[in-house]
Amino acid sequence: MQSWRRRKSLWLILSASWLLLVLLGGFSLLRLALPSRPRPGAPQGWPRWLDAELLQSFSQAGELPEDAASPQAPHGGSCNWGACFDTSKCRGDGLKVFVYPASGPISETHHRILASIEGSRFHTFSPAGACLLLLLSLDAQTGECSSMPLQWNRGRNHLVLRLHPAPCPKTFQLGQAMVAEASPTVDSFRPGFDVALPFLPEAHPLRGGAPGQLQQHSPQPGITLLALEEERGGWRTADTGSSACPWDARCEQDPGPGQTQRGETLPNATFCLISGHRPEAASRFLQALQVLAALQEMSPARVLALRQQTQFLWDAYFSSVEKVIHTTLEVIQDRIFGTSAHPSLLWNSPPGALLALSTFSTSPQDFPFYHLQQGSRPEGRFSALIWVGPPGQPPLKLIQAVAGSQHCAQILVLWSNERPLPSSWPETAMPLTVIDGHRKVSDRFFPYSTIRTDAILSLDARSSLSTSEVDFAFVVWQSFPERMVGFLTSSHFWDEAHGGWGYTAERTNEFSMVLTTAAFYHRYYHTLFTHSLPKALRTLADEAPTCVDVLMNFLVAAVTKLPPIKVPYGKQRQEAAPLASGGPGPRSKPQAAAPDCVNQIAAAFGHMPLLSSRLRLDPVLFKDPVSVQRKKYRSLEKP
Amino acid sequence: MCASVKYNIRGPALIPRMKTKHRIYYITLFSIVLLGLIATGMFQFWPHSIESSNDWNVEKRSVRDVPVVRLPADSPIPERGDLSCRMHTCFDVYRCGFNPKNKIKVYIYALKKYVDDFGVPVSNTISREYNELLTAISDSDYYTDDINRACLFVPSIDVLNQNTLRIKETAQALAQLSRWDRGTNHLLFNMLPGGPPDYNTALDVPRDRALLAGGGFSTWTYRQGYDVSIPVYSPLSAEVDLPEKGPGPRRYFLISSQVGLHPEYREDLEALQVKHGESVLVLDKCTNLSEGGLSIRKRCHKHQVFDYPQVLQEATFCVVLRGARLGQAILSDVLQAGCVPVVIADSYILPFSEVLDWKRASVVVPEEKMSDVYSILQSIPQRQIEEMQRQLFMEPARRESWLAANHQMNSLIWPREQWDSQIINDRIYPYAAISYEEWNDPPAVKWGSVSNPLFLPLIPPQSQGFTAIVLTYDRVESLFRVITEVSKVPSLSKLLVVWNNQNKNPPEDSLWPKIRVPLKVVRTAENKLSNRFFPYDEIETEAVLAIDDDIIMLTSDELQFGYEVWREFPDRLVGYPGRLHLWDHEMNKWKYESEWTNEVSMVLTGAAFYHKYFNYLYTYKMPGDIKNWVDAHMNCEDIAMNFLVANVTGKAVIKVTPRKKFKCPECTAIDGLSLDQTHMVERSECINKFASVFGTMPLKVVEHRADPVLYKDDFPEKLKSFPNIGSL
């Protein structure tokens, strides 16, 4: 009985399983048996051809390498770099530019642009030795049209610079000349040959230029998202509430509420829509492309990057006529240099290609600016460069102190006074090189090839420093290789009474300059000082020696847009008063001379680049009430 | 083990004692049913692997069976290529708006065979390469089979090689495509343009507004920002598998391996070889080899035979000289071999030059300077050469797409098509485009480097002030004291209290201290530490002061000075309590250090200034599971923030002022919380965990701290800006 019941239940299980099998399996078998048809709507794609393996190759073997060659370059209707520019004249010292002198009376702007090019490192007075001949076509108002210049030669190696749209009819064929102008038309622009310039207003500053107005990295919350350019310089603001149309339905209606501003001032918005020649198309364009939606989708990281990049581009290449012209020349020089041109990183990150000279290096890690981006670190050693001016005592104690530093690689003595070179120098483990200078103060910042390290410790023979001061300052410099790290400081300030800049070396709560008579900085600044500063400024420094400090601080601040760094200086005794180069001390004479050179240099720069800092970098346990034994730089605290 | 024993015991009991014959019969039957069920189940549960395979779904047809289309001799011909075309004039972006994900959709016309009035075919129906190219498009995300949703149309008419085409008839075939419309939004692929005798540098087939992806454009035919320059496919590099060779010196300095060079060029090159001897190798076709088929894989110099393209790996530089056409297949071979190409082809538009920075991976020499090529190359510093070689040897996946030359045909076409579409995609959706650096930076290089999100040197105006964010749970008395202290700081512009206690309401409005700046209480949904770093809309300033509700010792002078230090270093964490990470050599892992040391690598966010952007990064971009891990462990949010900021900026923290006591004057110098031994172990664990998630140790150690300029100087205190700086 029991076994029967068991058997019955077993049978039940078995038949149920069979049924399941038939039901489930049947479908699958059916599907296998019937040829499947692509379901309507299912993606089909490109067919897999049965005879795909048999298809022939697009070219026969041997056809590729055999194509007959002719030494004649393919030619087209217009010029390109290889065909119309003769680089053979540019060998040697790179781009040399000759500027055609103006024929007849010229405007003030024209005059100043000429002066600016003449002061630059590109300029040459001889048209024969020039690699590029520059023809300025500037004066929109005067109506004067330039006539064909003498060395025209069908325009070969010529650059015609048009800062403002030319009202003149073409008096002569441009031919092989490159044209640099704003808003060139697509038809006439020859990519890689002509240069497109920004459109410059008449009142664009010649030099320096207003710094960018961006005050903060990220946009303020609640600020208008987008402003649209309208005719006659007005702006219409569009915000997130505005209606947006679907992509395909080209909207024609008004973009909705939005206040219109008239006048010169730019609206305070995160994005500005500029529609080139057709402002009236802007609103339609806006809607059809759903610009707003797209901008809203943009991640904060991207907005942040774009904001900063616009600001950098403005400051580096756009803000003055001089920068626009130098950028144009730099672009052409890069074409000539070919392999030793600026890499794109140097063009596109601060401080920009005008301040990162490709004649110095094309490797970013050789410059002080890109270590973070490149993941590199400046070298761990420095060269001490000791300037010995009058009265010309060999700085024996100073050499000992510097040579004691574990980071010191070499010592250079720049002998710059009338006394004969001493025959013997102190014994140090450090290699010591003596350079006989030209008795000029600007010699101090000459890029001597004997300097083999990235870091320079610039010293005056009368400076006094201890080894641990040098050690600590150098370690700080490694964290800030693009800045100057110094011991003694001075400040500039706006002197209301005199309506000019003032200078003080008094100890105050802030500073904007460090004295280069004892300071660490990158050796690249020597190259920049010698090769990029206008000659007039270097002459000024030679004539008024106290200015050289100010000039170097201006240069570094203009490049970095950052204040220098101060580190503690043990012998902060006022009577030590050592560190003014050339002059007898900072307390008396330089105080009188310095404000003058601050004003002169600021005028030459076109703006005031110096920035103030209110902090000093000390060792972590500096003057803390803890055991001296715990401190690494304990001798810094000795009174 | 246990379970299986049990099963064995139970197993026989399930089947009752029966006659052996029956028993065997039942067991067999049962097993068959079971097997059947399992098999069915497999069909049921893995149906896709069978169904969606190409054999099931895609039509299986022969190329010979495609429909034939007769082109009347008088059917319309498109205009010649419009040289003034640009994206905004000849391209209809409105067709590309259907896809919300910023991706263009590509449609492929069905394959047809075109014949003229006499039934003579217009061209070969399709080449192997073009078929694979279309297959690659069809397999990609860009593909759509809905012609109405397409933004880009690819004809199946094969124009890769102009030599095989009847130009007029091919143009007529293009013109009769259903959506041709003057060629708007149509993309043609061509590798061998022009024909004898003058070899135009772009496809001669009249194509009106159609975009052209062509090999061998010159500056005269290339429509900047409209056409795409592509490399010419090399069958050799597709077949050969070359081993990777790292940067460094090679046997030859310069190799020329092209055959069929113009005699004038060959003379120039051979003159170089005579002048510079061993370091220059000029190869030619082998004349003495009998086998015709093998000869394309061999190159000879006098009687010496070399394997091609293997020999390219022996050289630092390889000459890529223009032939009748500008685009040369050898460029692909050279790139694959990791040899730096020396391109001598005036006016040639290098492949993908719109996005690739060829300066970083090649040397372009004008044709007229060919005789100087050796000295030009000699003048390149070794470091720059190695940088170029490295650029050629990026990690394999990218390299394949970058070089567009690989041993498998498919991976040649694949990335190329992807690139083309990506380039056009970038033009249509420029705001979502990939940046120049992303195209060109090998990730391997990126690894050691950073891209600081706050890269512009900028000192924010002091007038903006800062927002203090106090995280609190229930220590109301201490919280009020902190609020009162912080409110004395001149640059404070707003105070935000993050109330992290869900069980208790914050005190009534009337009980809060009256301060001169707006005070806002934010209540959180959960008691999480990450709430302190949320990018609240209420934060209107760029500077944020994160402060714990028990930090009562910081003076107003110290806080104001800290804010001013932050202004000079707005991309860093600027904080008061400094800490250090150390490598524990015994345990072989990182250790957390809170002793007074000469170095600092972290500042605690119990009292620190930072840019509000880092709140966004912490909340949305923290790598791995760190954010959840911190919330789960209720610890180390400050260390995580230090890692995050250091990793993204590559910069060290700034510790401000000497202060070391923060909570109460009576406390030991190091705060009670930090003294706890288990606490130290936990914090060390955090460092190790984060270092493994970040894959690196981003923290930077420095030996300095920021003090006011005249701190501890021999100077009248009343003249100092920040006299009230505590020494401990």
Q: For an interface test with A, give the residue of B458, B491, B722 to mutate (most A CBs within 10 A).
A: B458
Output the CA–CA distances (angstroms, integers) from residue A464 to A277, A472, A486, A571, B465, in the order listed.
64, 15, 13, 8, 41
Size of interface A-B (CB pairs under 8 A): 412
Interface of A with B in 165-194 (CB under 8 A): 186-187, 190-193
The whole-model pTM stands at 0.77
Q: What is the model's pLDDT at position B445?
A: 38
Q: For an interface test with B, give the residue of A59, A346, A377 to mutate (most B CBs within 10 A).
A: A59
Residue A573 contacts residue A494 (beta carbons within 8 Å): no
As a whole number of angstroms, the longest Cα–Cα distance in chain B is 114
pLDDT tens figures, B523-535: 999 999 999 999 9
Residue B448 contacts residue A375 (beta carbons within 8 Å): yes
Question: What residues of A are annotated to the active site?
Answer: 549
Measure the CA–CA gap between B655 and A607, rounded to whole angstroms. Answer: 33
Q: What is the mean pLDDT of residues B423-435?
A: 59
Q: What is the model's pLDDT at position B33?
A: 58
Q: What is the model's pLDDT at position A573?
A: 44
Q: What is the model's pLDDT at position A290?
A: 55
As a whole number, the mean pLDDT across chain B is 81
Q: What is the mean pLDDT of residues B640-663?
A: 93
Q: Residue B113 above 50 pLDDT? A: yes
Q: What is the model's pLDDT at position B16?
A: 47
Query: Comparing C-alpha atoms, which of B337, B128, B341 is closest to residue B241?
Result: B337
Q: Residue B10 above 80 pLDDT? A: no
Which residue ranges in chain A fall short of pLDDT 50? 33, 35-42, 64-67, 71, 74, 140-144, 171, 240-264, 279, 282, 288-289, 573-592
Q: For an interface test with A, give the residue of B651, B709, B718 to mutate (most A CBs within 10 A).
A: B709
Of the partner residues A43, A74, A248, the one whose CB lies closest to the CB of residue B201: A74
Q: What is the model's pLDDT at position B447?
A: 39
The shortest C-alpha distance from B266 to chain A (Å) reads 11
Question: In what order do the strands lie in the sheet containing A195-197?
Answer: A97-99, A132-137, A158-162, A178-182, A195-197
Q: Residue B55 above 90 pLDDT? A: no
Per-residue confidence at B585, pLDDT binned at 50, 70, 90? Answer: very high
Q: Residue B480 above 80 pLDDT? A: yes
In chain A, the residue whose alpha carbon lies closest to the alpha carbon of B711 is: A616
Amino acid residing at A333? Q
> What count of other Cβ atoms lies within 10 Å of the Cβ of residue B621?
15
Q: What is the model's pLDDT at position B402?
A: 37
Q: What is the mean pLDDT of residues B149-169?
A: 89
**Structure-model confidence comparison of residues B18 and B263, the more confident one:** B263
By three-state DSSP, how is residue A123 classified? strand
Asked whether the beta carbons of residue A57 and residue B127 sit closer than 8 angstroms, the reply is yes
pLDDT tens figures, B440-461: 654 433 334 567 888 888 888 8
Q: What is the model's pLDDT at position A250?
A: 36
Asked whether the beta carbons of residue A57 and residue B86 sit closer than 8 angstroms, the reply is no
Half-sphere exposure of A572 (CA within 13 A, CB side): 23
Query: Comparing C-alpha atoms, which of B563, B577, B569, B561 is closest to residue B466?
Result: B563
Q: Is B51 within 8 Å of chain A by CB? A: yes
Bridge partners of A456, per DSSP, are A383, A521
Per-residue confidence at B1, pLDDT binned at 50, 70, 90? Answer: very low
Amino acid residing at A480? F
Q: Position of tokens 């538009």?
A: B349
Q: Please report residues of A whose CB lies closer than 8 A to that of B459.
A: 562, 611
Which pairing describes strands A455-460 and A518-522: parallel, antiparallel, or unpaired? Answer: antiparallel
Measure the CA–CA gap between B600 and B703, rounded to whole angstroms. Answer: 6
Of the partner residues B95, B219, B598, the one whose CB lies closest to the CB of residue A632: B598
**Structure-model confidence comparison of residues B249 and B599, the more confident one:** B599
Residue B455 contacts residue A308 (beta carbons within 8 Å): yes
Vertex A501 angle, CA A611 and A595, to 5°: 105
Question: What residues have CB less than 8 Å from B51, skipping those under 6 apart?
Answer: A36, B57
Q: How far is CA A65 from the centre of its chain?
A: 44
Q: What is the model's pLDDT at position B527?
A: 93
Measure the CA–CA gap between A399 and A395, rounded to whole angstroms. Answer: 6
Residue B377 backbone class (left: φ over 0; alpha: ψ -120 to 50; beta: rest) = alpha
Q: Is A128 within 8 Å of chain B by CB? A: no
Q: Report which DSSP code applies to A318.
A: I
Q: What does chain B come to in residues?
A: 728
B274 burial type by CB count under 10 A (0-12 exposed, 13-18 middle, 19+ buried): exposed
Asked whether the beta carbons of residue A511 and residue B196 sit closer than 8 angstroms, the reply is no
The shortest C-alpha distance from B589 to chain A (Å) reads 23
Per-residue confidence at B625, pLDDT binned at 50, 70, 90? Answer: very high
